[in-house]
Amino acid sequence: MMKEKVVFFGLSTEGYYLASQMVINGADVRIIDESSSSAILLTPEIAKTYSNVTSLREDEPLLAMEPSNIAISKAKYLFFTPRIRKTGHDRKTEVNSKFKDAVGELKEGSSVINCLATGFGGNNENILLLKHVTGFEVGKSISYFYFPLHDLNKTPEAIGSLKATDGKNLLSLLKMDKKEKKFVDISSAEYLHAINTIQRFSSLCSILEVCKFVKNNTKHTTLFNDFKNIYLDDMVTGLYDLHMLGSSFESAQTLMYLINGSIRGISGYVKRLIDAIRITLKKNELKASKTKIVLSWTLDTNEMRGDKIEMLDTIASKLRDYIGDVETSTGSVDLFHHDKTTIVVACSSSDYKEIKESQKGEDVFVIKANPLCEI
C-alpha cells in the first residue's frame, strides 16, 4: 500500500518535532522552509541524527529537495506550522499571507491541519480563506482540523474538526503518546485552548501582582521558593495565544478583563524589572557610562511564535534610553573582559545556572528575571 504524503508548511521547532515523530513512525514526510520555497524530504536517518531544527540548520547536511508547490500538490495532509514574527495588527496579515501560500496548490481530497493558535472564530476565517484560494468547500471536497501546538511534551488531547469521520487516518499520524486523541467540533477546540491559556496567565499574573509587595529581605522568603523559579522565559510562553484571543473580541465582557489584565500584568512586570536595574545602578552608585547590561536569554529562534524575540528587543530598547551599552545574549555569556561594571539579567532558569557557573568577577551584578526580581 502506498504511503500517503504528509507536508509541513514551516520549518519551525514545532513543525520539525511533529514531522520527525511521523517519519520515524513510517510516514512519507516533506517539510517546507518558508524562506527558500523548497520542500525537504525528511528521512528517518535525518530525524534521528538531528533532534531539532537548530542542529539541522547549523550542520547544513545535503538534503533531497523538491519545489514546495509540487510537494503541496501531492500532499494528503498539510500541517500549517509557520514562524510568525510580526506583531499587533500585522500579525494577522502575516498569518493570512502564509496560510494562502500554504494551501494554494492543494488538491481535492486533502486535509489541512492548523497547528497555530487562533482566537475565537479564527478557524472559520481560515476555512473561508481556504475556499476562496482553492475553490474547495471544507467538509465536502477538502478537510480542515485545528490542533494548536504549544507544549511539545503535551500535545492537545482534542482535535477540532468539522466532521469526526474525516480524521481516522490522521489519528494514527498523531499518535505521539498513549493518550488517545479525541475529535471535537472546531469551536470546542478553540474554547478548550482558550481556557488553558487564560487559566495559565491568570494564575501567573496573580503571582506577579502579589510578589510586587514581597521584600527580598522578608522573613520566611523560603516560602516563596516556588515562585523564584518562574522566569521571564516562562512568563512570555504562550503570550501570542493570549493576544490572538484578545483580538477576537470587541465587547467589554469579563473575559476581556481577564485577557487584558493578564497582558497588562506582563507589561507591568517588565516595567518592574527595568526599575530593578535602575535601583541597582543607584544603590551601588554606578555611572551609566561605566556600566554594561547583558540580557541573557537563550532563545529558540525557530519557534512558531515570536513573542520571546519581540520581548527581548523591547526590553533592550527601553534600557538603551538611559544606558548606552546594552547587549542581548542568546547563547553563552562572556562577562569578564571589559572595563565596565556588568549587570546581567538572567531571563531563564538555564541562563541563570550558566551565569552562576561562569561568574568569577566582583564587578558583576546578577538580577534574576523572576517574580521577586532578586538581585
Considering only CA atoms, which of 202, 164, 206, 207 is closest in space to residue 183? 164
Same domain, 202 and 306: yes
Q: Is residue 274 part of a domain?
A: yes
Same domain, 203 and 152: no
Record the pTM. 0.91
Q: Which of 145, 165, 184 is the last residue of a domain?
A: 184
Q: Is residue 373 part of a domain?
A: no
- CA 66 to chain centroid: 28
Cell of 162: 468539522
Same domain, 244 and 271: yes
Considering only CA atoms, which of 74, 143, 142, 129 is closest in space to residue 105? 74
Residue 90 CB-density burial (10 A; 0-12 exposed, 13-18 middle, 19+ buried): exposed
Q: E strands, 234-350, where?
A: 291-296, 326-329, 341-346
Q: What is the DSSP string of 105-172?
A: TPPTT-EEEE-S---TTHHHHHHHHHHHHH-PPBTTTBEEEE----BTTB--SEEEES-GGGGHHHHH
Same domain, 203 and 173: no
The rounded distance, in Å, linking the Cα atoms of 374 and 356 is: 14
Same domain, 316 and 209: yes
Q: 89: domain range? A: 5-184
Q: Is residue 99 part of a domain?
A: yes
Same domain, 174 and 296: no
Q: Is residue 374 part of a domain?
A: no
pLDDT at 1: 39
As beta bridge partners, residue 365 has 343
Same domain, 154 and 301: no
Same domain, 175 and 304: no
Same domain, 171 and 206: no
Q: Is residue 311 part of a domain?
A: yes
pLDDT at 70: 95
pLDDT at 162: 85
CATH number at residue 124: 3.40.50.720
Q: Is residue 176 part of a domain?
A: yes
CA distances from 291 to 18, 240, 282, 330, 373 (A): 44, 33, 12, 20, 19
Q: Is residue 11 part of a domain?
A: yes
Cell of 117: 493558535
Q: Which of 155, 184, 213 is the last residue of a domain?
A: 184
pLDDT at 197: 95
Same domain, 137 and 244: no
Same domain, 62 and 117: yes
Q: Which of 137, 152, 184 is the last residue of a domain?
A: 184
pLDDT tens for the 375 residues of the chain, in order: 358 899 999 999 999 999 999 999 889 999 999 888 899 999 999 999 999 999 998 887 888 899 999 999 999 999 999 999 998 889 999 999 999 999 999 999 999 999 999 999 999 999 999 999 999 999 899 999 999 998 888 888 899 998 755 567 888 888 766 678 889 999 999 999 999 999 999 999 999 999 888 876 555 567 778 888 899 999 999 999 999 999 887 776 888 899 999 999 999 999 999 999 999 999 988 888 888 899 999 999 999 999 999 999 999 999 998 888 898 876 656 665 567 888 999 999 999 998 888 766 667 889 999 998 888
Q: How many CB atoms sit inside 10 A of residue 287's CB? A: 10
Q: Is residue 226 part of a domain?
A: yes
The rounded distance, in Å, linking the Cα atoms of 115 and 371 is: 31
Q: Which helix (H) or strand (E) holds 101?
A: helix 89-103
Same domain, 150 and 213: no
Cell of 308: 520571546
Q: How many domains does the chain contain in total?
A: 2
The rounded distance, in Å, linking the Cα atoms of 192 and 230 is: 24
